[in-house]
Amino acid sequence: MYDMNDAELPRGSDLIPDGSFAKVTMAIRKGGLDGQGEVDRGLLKPARNPESDVRMLDCEFTVVAGPHIRRKFWQTFTVVGGKVDEQGVSIGWKISKGIFRAMIDSALGLDPQDMSEAAKAKRVLRGLADLHGITFAAKVRVEPASDSRYSDSNRLDRVVLPGEAEYRRIMDGEAVPASPSHRAARPTASSSPASTPPAWATPPAQQAPATSARSWERSASAAPAQAAAPPAPPPAPASGGPAWLNG
C-alpha cells in the first residue's frame, strides 16, 4: 500500500513574471553527444530534427536568491551547426559564445571592458562543461508558446553585467522591480528545429561530470542571508584547469 496523504503538493505552474531580475545558477544536462575534448564528452544535445547538424547545450537555471527563489526554467544554446556567416562560422555559436562570456563576467564581477591578462585568463575554459554550476545575475522573460498545445515558458532574456544599475542588488539577493521585455511570439515550431520543449515536458536534470564542475560561487559575491543554500558545491576542478578556478 502507498499512503499518499503525506505527499508534497505539486507546485503551481505560474511563470516568473516577464522582465524579472534574479540571481541564477546554471546546470548543464548531458545530451549524449561529444563536444570538443575530454571535458565535454557526452555533453551536447542533438536537435530534434535528425537531419539537422545543430548541437546544443541543454541548460537548467535555478533561482538561488530573492522573491523567486528555487524556481527553475530551461533553455538550449547552439554551439555547433546551423546557419553560418560569411566566414563559415555558426551564427548560433557566435550568439551563444557572447552569452557565455557575459555569464563569466557577471559571475566573477569582471568589467566587460577589462581586457587585462588577468581578466582574459578567467574567460578561458577547458571546455563548455566548465560552465556547469556558474551563478550570475539574469533578467528573465516570458516567451509565448509557438504551439497552442504548450504553455508559455520562461527564458533567459539577458545576462546582467557589473556596472548595470541592477547588478549589485541582484547579486545581493534583493528584490528588484521587473522591467517587462514585451517580446513577440516566436515563429512556429516547424521552422525552429532547435526549439526547447515546455518546462513540464523537460526531464530531470542530468548533472555534468564531476571533472567539469567549477566553484563559481567562491569568486562571486556571497549570497544574502535570506537566500536558500544553492546546490551542493561540486568537487574541486581537475588539475590543469584555468588558474582562476581555484579562486
pTM of the predicted structure, to 2 decimals: 0.73
Three-state DSSP class for residue 105: helix
Using 50, 70 and 90 to split pLDDT, how confident is the model at 218?
Answer: low
Three-state DSSP class for residue 58: strand
56-105 pLDDT tens trace:
999 999 999 999 999 999 999 999 999 999 999 999 999 999 999 999 99
Q: Nearest 10 degrees: CA dihedral of 30, 32, 38, 40? A: -40
Mean per-residue pLDDT over the chain, rounded: 80
The more confident residue out of 157 and 211 is 157
184-208 pLDDT tens trace:
544 444 434 444 444 444 444 455 5
pLDDT score of 234 more than 80: no
Q: How far is C-alpha 191 from the chain's CA centre? A: 23
Using 50, 70 and 90 to split pLDDT, how confident is the model at 14?
Answer: confident
116-154 pLDDT tens trace:
999 999 999 999 999 999 999 999 999 998 888 888 999
DSSP state of 236: P
Give me the pLDDT at residue 116, please: 96
Q: Is 3 exposed, middle or buried (0-12, 13-18, 19+ CB in 10 A)?
A: exposed
Q: Produce one character per residue of 102-120: b if its CB has 16 or more CB atoms within 10 Å, e if not.
A: bbbbbbbbbeeeeeeeebe
The answer to whether the CB of 245 falls within 8 A of the CB of 215 is yes
Hey, what's the cell of 216?
563559481
Give me the pLDDT at residue 239, please: 46
